[in-house]
Copies of this chain bind each other. A is one copy, B any other.
Amino acid sequence: MLRNTNMRWRLPLVCFLWEIAMIVLFGVFVRYDITADPHWADHMKKNNITSNIENDFYFRYPSFQDVHVMIFVGFGFLMTFLQRYGFGSVGFNFLLAAFGIQWALLMQGWFHAFDTGKITIGVQSLINADFCVGSVCIAFGAVLGKVSPVQLMIMTLFQVTLFAVNEWILLNKLHVNDAGGSMTIHTFGAYFGLTVTWILNRPNLKQRNDKEGSVYHSDLFSMIGTLYLWMYWPSFNSAISDHGDAQLRAAINTYCSLASCVLTTVAISSVVNKKGKLEMVHIQNATLAGGVAVGTAAEMMLSPYGSLIVGFICGIVSTLGFTYLSPILSSKLKLHDTCGIHNLHAMPGLIGGIVGAVTAACATEGVYTAEGLKKMFRFENEYASRTPSIQGGYQAAGICVSLAFGLVGGTVVGFILKLPFWGDPEDENCFDDVVYWELPHEEDEDNGHTF
């Protein structure tokens, strides 16, 4: 029996109902942050605030825009490498991210709204929502081409929810640092997506579907995504750091790590090929691993050469992963990972968590100053007695929690998505836009794809 992939009532229903739910929930819970409220002037007087800087637009807005571009253009176009799934890549990414940011504003907001019962949103909330959706975009990479838009909406709903819980545990209960989200975004997002795709296993999907490859121009579209992710990653890892030295370090460290990563990616890509030729899939993906892997430690005193070393290692690990590990995962474990997020997000995410834990454990007052150390790791109130080495332990715990959330959450959501009425495509229609998109009439239909 052919599956029914007609989305005519399912997709509109999901979109409408959920958007109406958003409107109701926003109406009940969401208000402007005081910085975006005309009562700011009163607030200043009441609290003896003398500077307007906190409600200045450009306090974090440029970082927000860079992150925003990464989510929509970066991830969207990165996935357009498939020859006939460009519409799905960029279009579904657009859809799930647009829904995800609304739901993330609510979920992340509720965790900070215990006292007042209201969620107040400002530019930093928008950045955090984009961060949260970043983890969904990562998971999308694993199931790319094999699921319906309804499944993606459901996955987004659950993943955003789990993200918010996991993030709250890490930042508020374990009290760890994770500026660029090596743990909360990459480790969680990647293992979540990998588990989902593993459960949605399609045993009859050919090892190498014809449509699963790229064509010349689709690889160039994909490079647009790669470059925007690469260029703006320093903004990503520094977007929510404290103003001042921490934020500057986060940008510098990420810049160094990414630069180094490009060279080792190219080196490995060439050396594993018989003729020494480069593979676009490596350049498109592994060059970004350096950004993932300094996600936790970016704002710490990792030092520029430390960042170079992290990037150096991750370029190697990620490229080798694409070459040797992915085929094994696919054939032995039946883990089909369309974009290779295991190589770009999962492994580098774990490395990033470990680098963060080690860098935290090695922190000294000599390097950070006594004041700086407190500020960096928020050793205050109930955490005032923490030492760097204990902090390192908690950081390590954060990796495990994120991993667990990804695996357990992915399992549950995977089984939900396995239900037979979500309209996912037949095996032979995977990686093909024709299932969910009205395609333009090509000039010469008989020739197949003459675009």
Cβ-defined partner of A38 (8 Å) among B264, B273, B367: B367
Is the pair A19, B252 in contact by a Cβ cutoff of 8 Å? no
- Output the least CB separation between A211 and chain B (Å): 10
User: A126–B256 Cα gap in the complex (Å)?
Assistant: 10
* Chain A interface main SS type: helix
Q: How many copies does the complex hold?
A: 3
B9, B72, B126: which contacts A252 (Cβ < 8 A)?
A: B126
**What mask results when residues 246 to 258 of chain A are scored 1 for a CB within 8 Å of chain B, else 0?**
0111011001101
Which residues from chain B contact A390 at a C-beta distance below 8 Å? none
Per-residue contact bits, chain A 82-108, to B (CB 8 Å; 1 contact, 0 not): 011011001100110011011000000
Stretch in A158-166, A186-194, A222-230, A347-355 with 4+ CB within 8 Å of B: A222-230
Chain A's interface size range is 35 or more
Using A263-B18, A267-B16, A273-B8 as known contacts, say yes or no to A256 and B94 having CB atoms under 8 A apart: no
Q: Which of A135-143, A338-346, A405-413, A435-443 contacts B (4 or more CB under 8 A)?
A: A435-443
**Known: A35-B245, A215-B442, A304-B26. Contact between A274 and B8, CB under 8 A?**
yes
Does residue A331 face the partner (Cβ distance < 8 Å to B)? no
Query: Which residue of chain B is the closest to A434 with respect to CB atoms?
Result: B277
- Shortest A64–chain B CB gap in Å is 8
Which one of A170-178, A279-287, A394-402 is at the interface? A279-287
A213 CB-CB contact with B under 8 Å: yes
- From 418 to 444 in chain A, residues with beta carbon under 8 angstroms from any chain B beta carbon are 436-444
Top 6 nearest A-B pairs (CB, nearest first) are A38-B372, A8-B276, A98-B262, A36-B248, A26-B305, A15-B267
